[in-house]
Each structure stands twice: as structure tokens, then as C-alpha cells.
Amino acid sequence: MVTTGELRRLMRHPGFARLGVVILLVVAWEISARFFLDRDFISPPSTVLTSFGELFGTPGVPSALWLTLYEIAIGFALSAIIGAAIGLAVGLNRLAHQSFMPIILLLYGLPQITILPIFVLVFGIGAASKIAFGVSHGMFPIMIAVAAGVQKIEPVYFDSARSMGASRWHLLRYVIFPHMIPSFFTGLRLGMSGVLLGVLLAELYVSTAGIGYFTSIFTQNFDATKLIGLVSVLAAIAIALNEVVRRVELRYARWRD
Amino acid sequence: MASAQPAIRVNGVSHQFGEPGEARYVQALLDTSLDVTRGELLCLIGPSGCGKSTLLGIMGGLFAPTTGAVAVAGKPVRGPMPRDLAFVFQESALFPWNTVRENVMLGMTFQGVAKAERGARARRALEAVGLIDFAEHYPGQLSGGMRQRAALARALSLETDILLMDEPFGALDEQTRMVLGEDLSVLLSRSNKTIVFVTHSLGEAVFLADRVAVFSARPGTIKQIIVVDEPHPRKPSFMTAPKFHALRDQLYGLLHDEIRKAMSETTQPRRRYGQTGPAETDGERV
């Protein structure tokens, strides 16, 4: 039996209210989809849940998921490498920062969807254009976070490391890298959602495979059940990736406790 | 004659930040010459912004003076000399992302100590400052006094003949500062190191130093050198001796006008040390 004390402790846990809101939303969705809305446009969660088997049985869907995952993975890796490299270069050099930071901020602020056709023209309608568009969304937040992160390093860390004989590599490896890790991870998480957005937008725009392709197919066929099922899978992927980044980040943040 | 060679020779050093006409232009040091004798503890004392910390950075090769030259053990200083001298800075210059032990080990990595030797040397240094039980703590988990002892351990582990200490106890409260001062005096009497120690505190200077170099207001230069003839390790009782007070009063007399002069100035150099820094730095205490 649950005692009243245990129950009270449970209710004060932040997860309690959070779970409550999620359940409430799902119930509201179920009721409105079942009784008030057009079944061509929206499916109740119970139907979506029970037809996952059908969704994965649809020819092309499993490979589409793998393709999109592959595009996201490559896009994310490239974004991290390019973002960190340019962020370091711009963050560590005063002149480079003053010269190039406004350009980076401008490009980041630009609604890139307007130049998506150019990506397709240059990279074709295959995976390359999706990866490229993902990178162009993902690398800027990483760049900006890394540049900001390395700028705030106390000069005394450099002085003390140099006085002990640290080489340039030592400074990078033992002073700059550890210092930039928290902001790097913040950038990675923002970059991850950027890559996801870029890849999916490109798939929606023009493609013959991938999740984006199937979302537009399901939409055109008024197959709301499969559409929402696919979106749920996508959401699960996004949450899982974010969680992976967060876990890795925690391992490097022990000293901040 | 090798024994007569000073540990550090400062010859006609002047230093300015920026160029005349620029907003950040400051003439920090003017034609300063000084010999640091082997095995002594020399205090540099002076009003804010007189260039005493700048001089320490120049001695340690963190940056080159505008004019003049410094030699350490007869060798001209052209950059950091990790085998000859080690720094202890005011604020904890320990890396917050490394434990105390890792910090000490890292210093030896930079200096190029063989891997096999590092562990034993780190242990010895941490034992010397009484921090061996806190080796696995992160700096953020330690008090200010313990952090400075850890910074001292890192410097000691480098086994250099010379220690350059830039207001190492400046951020600590008076009581911690006194105790650490006593510990340093004991350590010094055993180790035979040469120490240059920058401080703001008159009492600290008299208590620790064999000689005190008094700086004038900016542009700083050495106004006078006072000798404190008292063997190490110094006891707390020295602080109440008439000699201590006479020397302290003498120092204050020398500094008084300079401090007034310095207070009427407002500009401070942007940075004390090196060029290898981040792109932008906030304004800074000197």
C-alpha cells in the first residue's frame, strides 16, 4: 500500500505534474480526434499506436528511416567539425572575430529555406543536398557557441600554462578544449535540431526517399494515421539524439558540481 | 664567479602598453634595474598600477619589455623559462576542470617531466603544502586558502630554483594570509629557493622578505630597497617585535606619497600579461 506520506512526496516530484500534462494532452487529442475532427486530417493516438506495424510494413518506410538517420548523422558530424573549427578560429583571434562574426550572424539569421533550390541544383536530389542543407543549418549555432565559449577564457590560465612551458598544442588540448566544452555542448544541441530541420525540409522539398518524402506522400493520400505515426517516430529520434548529447555532456561537466 | 651571479638580473627595463596617443597607452615601468640574489625572498611593493606585476611577468618571460633586458641565472630571458622559474598567481590559476592532483601533474606535463616521475613528485608537493587528502577535489570545492596552497604545490612540483609569486595571498582574508605567510617562511627556510613576491600588504612584505623593493607611482621604478635582517623561518612573534614595526613604518613613509600620486590617476593598463589571450578581455585590476 502507498502511504499518504509517500503519495505526498510523489506529488511534489516535478515529473508528476509533467506526466500529468502529457496524459491530459493525449486524452484531449484522443477525444477531439474521435468525436470532433475529420479523420482524414487527424487520427486519434490509439489508432496511431495500433497501426505502427502497418506503418513499418509499408514498402520503403524502414529504408526511408535509415536513410534519414544516415543523413542526420553525417550532417551532424560535419556540422560539429566545421562549427568547432571555425568557431575556434574566430573565437581565438580578435581580428578574425571582428571581421567575420557579423557575417556568421547574418548567415545564421537568414531564412535559408529561400536558397534551398540552390542546394538542390548544386547537390542534386539525392542524400547530398539533404546533408548539405542540414549542415548549413547545424553548423552556425555550434560555431557561435564555440566562439563565445573560447572568448571568455581567463587570461591567467594562458599565462600560467605558458609559464610552465605549455606548447600551442598543450594550450589547445588542456586549456581551450576543456574550457569550451560546456558551450560546445550547448551548441551541439542547438545544432542537432538545426540539422534535423535542414534535412527534413530538404526531403520535403524534393526527394524520392527518406522520411520527408513519405510525410508528403501520406499527406497527399489523407493517410493521417501513418503520417502521425511517422512524425512520432521522428520525435522519438530527436529526443533520443538530444538525450545522447546530454549524457555525454554530463560526463564532462563533473567539475561544475 | 658563479656564486656571485644573481638569480635574476633586471637591466634598464621599461615597459609601455599601447602607443602614445592611444586610449590604452600606459607607461607602466621606467628604466628599472634590480638584482635578485640567490636564495633570498625579495618583495616588490608599491601603489596600484606601479608596474610591479608587469615586472614579474617580464622576469618570467611572459612578455618582452619595450626596452631593457632580463637574465635568469645568466641566460637572457626570451620567453617562458619553465625549467628555471615557476609562477604562483593571485587568483587561483588552477584549471577548474581538473582535480588538484591533475593540476599538479599537468604542470609537469607542460614542463616535460618524464611520465614515471610525475606521480611521486605530485605526491611530495601536495604533502609539503598539506593537501594530500584533497588531491582528488576540484578547485571549486576548496577554500581560497587551500586553492592557493594547491597552486603553490603545482609550482613546487616543477622543482625550479626560482618562484615568482604575484600577490598569491591577495584575495584571501587577513587571518588565512598570515598563516599561509608563516607556512611559506618555513618552506623557504628548508628549500633554499629564490622567491620574488609581489604584494600590497606592508605587514606581509616585512614578515616575509629578506629585502623589500619599494616602487614609485607610475611610471614605476624602484625608489628604494629596504633590508629585513631576520632569519627564516619567521615566528608569529616577529610581528610584534619593535623591529617589525620600525620597518613597517619606514615602508609606509616611503609609500605614502606614491599612493596619493597613484590615486589621482585613473587609467589602468588593459592586461598585465601575454599576447596569447582570448580575443577580448574585460578591463582589469592591476
Question: Cβ–Cβ of A181/B271 closer than 8 Å?
Answer: no
Provide, as residue numbers in chain A, all residues whose Cβ is less than 8 Å from the Cβ of B271.
Answer: 155
Select the residue of B82, B107, B277 nearest A158 (Cβ to Cβ): B277
Whether residue B37 lies inside any domain: the answer is yes
Q: CB contact, 8 Å: A256 with chain B? A: yes
- Closest residue of chain A to B61, computed from CA coordinates: A163
**B134 and B199 share one domain:** no
> Where residue B275 falls among pLDDT bands split at 50, 70, 90?
very low
Inside any domain, residue B283: no
Q: Average pLDDT, stretch A190-205?
A: 90
Residues of B in contact with A160 (CB under 8 A): 87, 89, 93
Q: Is it the case that residue A104 has pLDDT exceeding 50?
A: yes
Of A152, A158, A179, the CB nearest to B274: A158
The H or E element that residue B222 is part of is strand B222-227
Q: Residue range A18-33: average pLDDT?
A: 90
Q: Is the pLDDT of residue B276 over 70?
A: no
Beta bridge partners of B162: B85, B194
Flag whether pLDDT at B268 surpasses 70.
Answer: no
Contacts of B276 in chain A (CB under 8 A): 158, 162, 171
Q: Does the ipTM surpass 0.95?
A: no
pLDDT at B58: 93
Q: B60: domain CATH number?
A: 3.40.50.300
Please check whether residue A169 touches B, CB under 8 A: no
The minimal CB distance from A93 to the residues B97, B272, B279 is found for B279
Contacts of B154 in chain A (CB under 8 A): 164
- How many other β-carbons are positioned within 10 Å of the β-carbon of residue B46? 28
- Rounded-to-integer distance, Cα B177 and Cα B143, Å: 12
Is the Cβ–Cβ distance between B80 and B111 less than 8 Å? no
Identify the three-state secondary structure at position B44: strand
Residue range B75-90, pLDDT digits in tens? 999 989 999 999 999 8
**Are A178 and B112 inside 8 Å of each other by CB?**
no
Residue B282 forms part of a structural domain:
no
Residue A154, Cα to own-chain centre: how many angstroms? 31
Q: How many CB atoms lie within 10 A of CB A244?
A: 11
Please report whether residue B238 resides in a domain: yes
Instruction: Tell whether A173 is within 8 A of chain B (Cβ).
Output: no
Q: Which residues of B are less than 8 Å from A93 in CB distance?
A: 279
pLDDT in tens, B121-153: 999 999 988 899 999 999 989 988 899 999 999
CB contact under 8 A, B277 and A165: no
Q: Which is nearest to B56 in space by CA: B168, B197, B154? A: B197
Please indicate whether, in this complex, the C-beta atoms of B93 and A175 are within 8 angstroms of each other: no
- Asked if the model's pLDDT at residue B278 lies above 60, the reply is no
Contact yes or no for B224/B192 (Cβ under 8 A):
no
pLDDT for res B279: 36
Cβ pair A164:B138 closer than 8 A:
no
Predicted confidence at residue B3, as pLDDT, reads 55
Residues B173 and B258 in one domain: yes
Q: Which of A141 and B27 is assigned the larger pLDDT?
A: A141
Residues B268 and B176 in one domain: yes
Is there a domain that residue B122 lies in? yes
Contact A180, A174 (CB under 8 A): no
A-B contacts at Cβ under 8 angstroms: 97
B126: containing domain: 90-159
- pLDDT at position B1 is 43
Enter the pTM of the model: 0.77
Of A191-195, A205-209, B104-108, B243-247, minimum mean pLDDT range: A205-209
d(CA A133, CA B126): 53
State whether B109 and B48 are in the same domain. Answer: no
Average pLDDT over residues A181-195: 90
Last residue of a domain, one of B133, B159, B185: B159
Are B16 and B115 within one domain? no
- What does CATH list as the number for A52-256? 1.10.3720.10
C-beta atoms of A157 and B86 within 8 A = no
| CA dihedral over B81, B82, B84, B86, signed as positive or negative | positive
Residue where a domain terminates, one of B110, B135, B159: B159
Using a CB–CB cutoff of 8 Å, tell me whether A164 touches chain B. yes
The alpha carbon of residue A81 is apart from the nearest alpha carbon of chain B, in Å, by 21
Mean pLDDT for the stretch of residues A192-205: 90
Residues B237 and B258 in one domain: yes
Enter the C-alpha cell of residue B39. 636564495
Would B285 be classed as within a structural domain? Answer: no
Do B219 and B244 reside in the same domain of the chain? yes
Interface of B with A (CB under 8 A): 57, 60-62, 80, 82-83, 85-87, 89, 91, 93, 95-99, 106-107, 109-112, 138, 140, 154, 158, 271-274, 276-281
Domain boundaries, chain A: 4-36, 52-256
CB contact at 8 A, A188 and A248: no
pLDDT, tens digit, 9 for 90 and up, residues B1-39: 445 688 999 998 999 888 888 877 888 888 889 999 998
How many separate domains does chain B show? 2
Structural element, H or E, at residue B166: strand B162-166
Q: What is the mean pLDDT of chain A?
A: 87
Over residues B259-266, the mean pLDDT reads: 72
Residues B40 and B95 in one domain: no
Instruction: State whether B211 and B188 are in the same domain.
Output: yes
B186 and B70 share one domain:
yes
What's the pLDDT band for B171 if we cut at 50, 70, 90? confident
Please tell me whether residues B169 and B152 are part of one structural domain: no
Do B257 and B194 belong to one domain? yes
- With respect to residue B281, please indicate whether it lies within any of the assigned structural domains: no
pLDDT band at B101 (very low <50, low <70, confident <90, very high): very high
Q: How far apart are CA B108 and CA B118, in angstroms?
A: 7
Nearest chain A Cα distance for residue B266, angstroms: 22
Whether the pLDDT of residue B272 is over 90: the answer is: no
Question: Does the distance separating the beta carbons of A92 and B274 come in below 8 Å?
Answer: no
